[in-house]
Amino acid sequence: MKQVRRLSPHMVRVSVTGEGLRRMTSPCPDAYVKLFFPLPGQDRPRLPELHDDSWYRTYLAMPDEIRPPMRTYTVRAHRGTEMDIDFVLHGDGGPASRWAHGARPGDTIAILGTGGLHIPPEDSEWQLLIGDESALPAIGAILERLSPGAVAHAFIEVDGPAEEQRFSTLGNVRTYWVHRGDAPHGESVLNAVRLARFPDGTPYAWISGEAGMVKYARRHLVNDRGFAKNAVTFTGYWRLGATQDQMV
């Protein structure tokens, strides 16, 4: 790993380097990877054989004492042999957040490339992006890759003003920053979306973040706003009270 930069009080950008990254392709702007972290006392994670399709079974079969924690993260940016990954420091003691909190140049993690989900149908005329801070890296990457004039409205829930970010985009973008304050996760952004006036035209929606928020946001768009089911991409990025292992 090459560089660690604090973007805001609860977000850290880790820039990793490695020859293997050159071969990775990012199919969609919200491309994600699987990250493997070292266990306490290790300087690098011990890996299963990753080239085989059955790698996940091999991974699960590894003894607990050596199986590296694996978590999913968005490729915020990719430049040849270098990749930026933005970690939310959520303070709930998960291995990924904990690793990012203490990360230093020279630390080693392993990366496995997988996929992406942001694929607007060809007939969509504008995009609605809804997420919390875990979706901020993907929303940033999506906005930065919009074609000139493409209309997008983004509703993003963060702790407070210090967590807001700026994106450069050629799109015609409206970003609504929703501050959580003391409200439960997801409640404020759901309220903002419920009250929002949307542009005319055929929409495409992309929703990611805490799983409960994602479920209710999708339900609202489909049931109350008439969004076509196949024009809504939704992914629970994490779940309150559950580790990512428990979500599988």
- The reply on whether position 126 binds ligand FAD by CB under 6 A is no
Q: Residues 219-238 vs ligand FAD: string with x where CB under 6 A?
A: ----------------x-xx
Quote the least distance from Cβ 123 to ligand FAD, whole Å: 25
User: Which C-beta is closer to ligand FAD: that of 30 or that of 126?
Assistant: 30
Size of the site for ligand FAD (CB under 6 A): 25
User: Which C-beta is closer to ligand FAD: that of 137 or that of 171?
Assistant: 137
Quote the least distance from Cβ 48 to ligand FAD, whole Å: 18
For the chain, how big is the Rg over CA atoms in Å?
Answer: 18
**Residue 72 near residue 29, CB atoms below 8 Å:** no
- The reply on whether position 242 binds ligand FAD by CB under 6 A is yes
**Residue 120 near residue 204, CB atoms below 8 Å:** yes
- Closest residue by beta carbon to ligand FAD: 94
**Residue 108 near residue 39, CB atoms below 8 Å:** no
Cβ neighbours around 40 below 10 Å, total: 7
Question: Of residues 156-185, which lie at the interface with ligand FAD (CB under 6 A)?
Answer: none
User: In which element (H, E) is residue 72 found?
Assistant: strand 70-74
- The reply on whether position 90 binds ligand FAD by CB under 6 A is yes
The CA distance from 163 to 185, in Å, is 15
- The reply on whether position 241 binds ligand FAD by CB under 6 A is yes
User: Which C-beta is closer to ligand FAD: that of 87 or that of 204?
Assistant: 87
- The reply on whether position 97 binds ligand FAD by CB under 6 A is yes
Cβ neighbours around 147 below 10 Å, total: 8
- The reply on whether position 218 binds ligand FAD by CB under 6 A is no
- The reply on whether position 13 binds ligand FAD by CB under 6 A is no
The CA distance from 147 to 62, in Å, is 45
Task: Identify the burial level of 226 via C-beta atoms within 10 angstroms of its C-beta, where 0-12 means exposed, 13-18 middle and 19 or more buried.
Answer: exposed
Taking CB under 6 A as the criterion, the residue among 94, 113, 131, 186 binding ligand FAD is 94
- The reply on whether position 119 binds ligand FAD by CB under 6 A is no
Question: Of residues 28-87, which lie at the interface with ligand FAD (CB under 6 A)?
Answer: 32, 71-74, 86-87
Helices (H), the chain: 55-61, 95-102, 136-144, 187-195, 211-223, 244-247
Residue with tokens 């559950």: 242
Interface contacts to ligand FAD, rule CB under 6 A:
32, 71-74, 86-88, 90, 92, 94-97, 134, 137, 235, 237-244
